[in-house]
Amino acid sequence: MLSNSANDKYTMIHFHTKIILASASPRRRALLRSAGVRFTVSGSRLDEDRYTSLHGQREPSELAVSLACAKARDAGLRTRGDRVIVAADTVVVMGDKVIGKPRDKRHARRILRLLSGKTHTVITGVCLLEMPEGTSHSFSVATNVTMLPMTDADIRWYIGTGEPMDKAGAYGIQGLGGLFVGKISGSYTNVVGLPLAELFEALRGLGAIEITA
């Protein structure tokens, strides 16, 4: 059993399997740490733009799960031993349109104008890959987000902060972008990039982690 030490803050969580996060996202790392999950990082080298161009005709939830599993398999090629690889991909959907990360400031402006004052859906696909068996378990979580109306000045200011440029939907709810979020329906952590409650239950279901009294 990979149990925590006596001095660990999270002594009630025990780890039976090494957990590897296949993501370089600082937001996903921070979310996992906040939940007391011990993990190492093996970032995926998957070309997401190329993958999406080849498989982008799928339903948004299927696309997000497919991307997450492709990331997990890619990371699995560079790790050894018994472990569970966790990978995720988040997409923003407005109507039937999938909105990715902005290519440049002009694109970010178009995205934010599109989202302003409307409700969109954030979908995160999650894949858990058990190695060395190669068995995968996947799911997706959707959250509806309603943005407040944004003026052109608001959008110029926000883009000027640089925050929108590496985020799906061109905003970060956990940062300055939260100033323009009026309401969410569903998981907050899902919008940040990783649905913690659902992931925790999935890891428990695999026997990777255990809570003991």
The answer to whether 122 and 190 are in contact (CB under 8 A) is yes
Confidence tier at 6 by pLDDT (50, 70, 90): very low
d(CA 51, CA 41) in angstroms, rounded, equals 22
pLDDT at position 56, please?
Answer: 59
pLDDT at position 188, please?
Answer: 97
pLDDT at position 8, please?
Answer: 54
Q: How far is CA 69 from the centre of its chain?
A: 13
Q: What percent of the chain has pLDDT over 90?
A: 63
What is the residue range of 144's domain? 2-211
- The residue among 81 and 127 whose pLDDT is bigger is 127
pLDDT at position 147, please?
Answer: 98
Confidence tier at 126 by pLDDT (50, 70, 90): very high
The total of structural domains in the chain comes to: 1
Mean pLDDT of 152-159: 98
- Token look-up 């956990």 returns 174
User: What would the pLDDT profile of 37-95 be if each residue is shown by its tens digit?
Assistant: 889 998 777 666 666 655 556 789 999 999 999 999 988 888 788 899 999 999 999 98
Mean pLDDT of 96-123: 94
Q: Is the pLDDT of residue 107 over 50?
A: yes
Q: How far is CA 139 from the centre of its chain?
A: 12
The DSSP element (H or E) to which 54 belongs, if any, is: helix 48-55
Active site residues: 89
d(CA 40, CA 24) in angstroms, rounded, equals 11
Whole-model pTM? Answer: 0.87
What CATH number should be reported for the domain holding residue 80?
A: 3.90.950.10
pLDDT at position 17, please?
Answer: 85
pLDDT at position 47, please?
Answer: 64
User: What would the pLDDT profile of 60-74 be if each residue is shown by its tens digit?
Assistant: 999 999 999 999 998
